[in-house]
Amino acid sequence: MEKTVSPAIIKRLPRYYRVVTHLFNEGQTKVSSKAIAELMDVTASQVRQDFCSFGGYGQQGYGYDVKKLKSELENIMGLNKMHNMIIIGAGNIGRALAGYKGFGDGFKVRAVFDVVTDGIELGEIEVLNISRLKEYCAENKVDIAVISTPRSAAAKVAADVVDAGVKNIWNFAPTELDVPGDVIVENISMSESLYVLSYYMNRQEG
């Protein structure tokens, strides 16, 4: 039976990966849990506990092999696989995501869908009318559907991609999606993040 990992640890994984990748690119070959902790503003004990959730990769008195740790984190998060993505909604967010170069080699935007496609050019990425969404998903391997539509369209778009067999949704629409239990949804709200920042600003200002 697979061990359950807490959502809090999962949320820290990308941060660990960013730190370890930076160390790797700087030519560092080994790193201690204390050094990782200082870079992430957590405790060394927390770092060790988190890594132990996936089997543990360090050696007492040596620390962690940076190259191996980077590889293990890529394996844990599936970054060593190719994930085909589509984007539904070619507004400001959709276009920005389509042109973003920071996803890494494991994520490829294959097509963008919208109600109006005239005049939209996104390099090598196909731009298709929304009417072809279900047909495209049925004929192509789509691992992740990115929804960046207005709130009013998000529910139908989600239903269409789920009906076509897509099991993973990255949702930028400002609404919660009602999907089957076997479909994974990661909600992204930029306004919520801004409101959290505003809260801390308000606390500082008294």
Cα within 13 Å of Cα(89), Cβ side: 25
Say whether 165 counts as a known binding-site residue: no
Q: Using the 8-state DSSP alphabet, how is residue 184 labeled?
A: E
| DSSP E strand boundaries for the chain | 30-31, 64-65, 83-88, 107-114, 126-129, 144-147, 168-171, 184-187
Say whether 140 counts as a known binding-site residue: no
The helix (run of H) or strand (run of E) holding residue 35 is helix 33-40
Helix (H, G, I), strand (E, B) or coil at 153: helix
Q: Compute the C-alpha angle 63/52/38, nearest 5°.
A: 50
Say whether 159 counts as a known binding-site residue: no
Q: Using the 8-state DSSP alphabet, how is residue 63 labeled?
A: B
Residue 123 buriedness (CB in 10 A; 0-12 / 13-18 / 19+):
exposed
Say whether 106 counts as a known binding-site residue: no
Say whether 56 counts as a known binding-site residue: no
Report the DSSP beta bridge partners of residue 63.
Answer: 59
Say whether 92 counts as a known binding-site residue: yes
Task: Give the residue carrying structure tokens 């294959």.
Answer: 110
Q: Which residues are annotated as a binding site?
A: 89-94
Q: Which residues are annotated as a binding site for NAD(+)?
A: 89-94
